[in-house]
Structure 1
Amino acid sequence: MKKITCQLFLMLVIITSAVAQTKRNNGGKILYILRLEYKDRQVDELVKHRLDSLGYAVTFADESDSPSRAEGFDMVLISSTVSSQRFAGKYADVKVPVMMWENDIQDDMRFTGRYKGVDFGEVEKEHYLWMVNAPHPLSGGVPAGMAVAYHKDQPMGWGKPGLGAAIIATMPGQPDKAVIYGYEKGATMDYDFIAPARRVMFFLDNTTFPLLTPTGIQLFDAAVKWTIGKN
Structure 2
Amino acid sequence: MIKTFKHLAVLSLALLATHAHAQQAVRDDALKGKQILFVIGATAKDVPNDDPLIRDYLGTLGATVTTAAATDAAKVSGKDLVLISSTVNARELGSKYRDANVPVVTWSAYSFPLLGMTGDKLHEDFSVVREKPFHNENHADYYAHATSSTNPILRAAKIPQGMFAPLLFSGGVTDPSWGKPSRGADIAVVFGGDVDQAAVFSYERGAAMMGDAVAPARRVGLFLGHNSWSILSDAQGPAAEDPKEYAWFSGRRLFDAALKWAVSPPQVRVSSSLAEQRAALERTARGKKVLFVRRYDLPWPENEASDQAQLAWLKSLGFEVSTADHMEPDSRAKGMDLVIISASTNKYKLGVKYADVNIPVLLLEAKAVDALGMVSRRRNTDYGVNDHKESLYPPENYVHLVRSYHPVAAGLSPGQLKLYRTPGVLAWSRPPAGAQVIATIPNQPEHATMFAFEKGATMADESQAPARRFLFPLDAPRFPDLTEEGQAVYGAALQWLLTPPTP
TM-score computed with the length of structure 1 as normaliser: 0.90
**Shift of the alpha carbon at 1:182?**
0.5
Q: Who is 1:141 aligned against? A: 411
RMSD: 1.6
TM alignment of 1:137-176, pairs within 5 A: 137-176=407-446
Deviation at 1:166, TM superposition (A): 0.6
**TM-fit CA distance, 1:26:** 3.1
SS at match of 1:176: strand
Q: Is the 8 A contact 1:111 1:189 kept in 2?
A: yes
Residue 84 of structure 1 corresponds to 347
Give 1:229 deviation, angstroms.
2.1
Runs of 4+ in 1 over 3 A off after TM superposition: 15-18
Q: Distance in 1 between matches of 2:325 and 2:472?
A: 20
For the pair 1:26 / 2:284, whether they are aligned, the reply is yes
Contact 1:25 1:56 in 2 (8 A): no
Q: 1:37 aligns with which of 294, 297, 305?
A: 297
Q: Aligned partners of 1:16 and 1:216: how far apart in 2?
A: 12
> 2:283 aligns to what SS in structure 1?
coil
Give distance in 1, aligned partners of 2:407 and 2:4.
Answer: 22
User: Any idea what the Cα deviations from partners look like across 1:43-70, whole Å, max 9, x if unmatched?
Assistant: 1110011111222111111111111111
- Alpha-carbon distance in structure 2 between the residues aligned to 1:129 and 1:79: 20
Name the count of aligned residue pairs.
Answer: 218
Counterpart amino acid of residue 44 in structure 1: D
Distance 2:493 2:445 in 1: 20
| Residues in 2 aligned to 1:168 and 1:200: alpha-carbon distance in whole angstroms | 10
Aligned to 1:196: 466
Corresponding residue of 1:59: 322
Letter of the aligned partner of 1:35 in structure 2? R
- On the 8 A contact 2:362/2:471 being kept in 1, the answer is yes
Aligned-residue offset at 1:16: 9.2
SS, match of residue 466 in structure 2? coil
Q: Does 1:225 align with 2:483?
A: no
Residues in 2 aligned to 1:104 and 1:197: alpha-carbon distance in whole angstroms: 20
Alpha-carbon deviations, 1:81-102, whole Å to 9, x = none? 1111111211101111101111
Deviation for aligned residue 1:228: 2.1
**Distance across 1 between alignment mates of 2:6 and 2:410:** 20
SS in 2 for 1:164: coil
1:162-214 CA-partner distances (Å, limit 9, x unpaired): 11111000001212111110000000000111000000001110101111111
Q: Distance in 2 between matches of 1:134 and 1:16?
A: 20
Secondary structure of residue in 2 paired with 1:77:
strand
CA distance in 1, matches of 2:463, 2:488: 30
Q: TM-score, normalised by structure 2?
A: 0.42
| 2:362/2:470 contact within 8 Å kept | yes
**For 2:352 and 2:494, how far apart are their aligned partners in 1?**
20
Q: Which protein has the bigger strand share?
A: 1
1:214 aligns with 2:484: yes
Secondary structure of the corresponding residue to residue 126 of structure 1: coil
Indicate if the aligned counterparts of 2:284 and 2:498 stay in contact, CA closer than 8 A: no
2:440 is the counterpart of 1:177: no
1:104 is paired with a residue of what secondary structure? helix
Seq. identity, %: 33
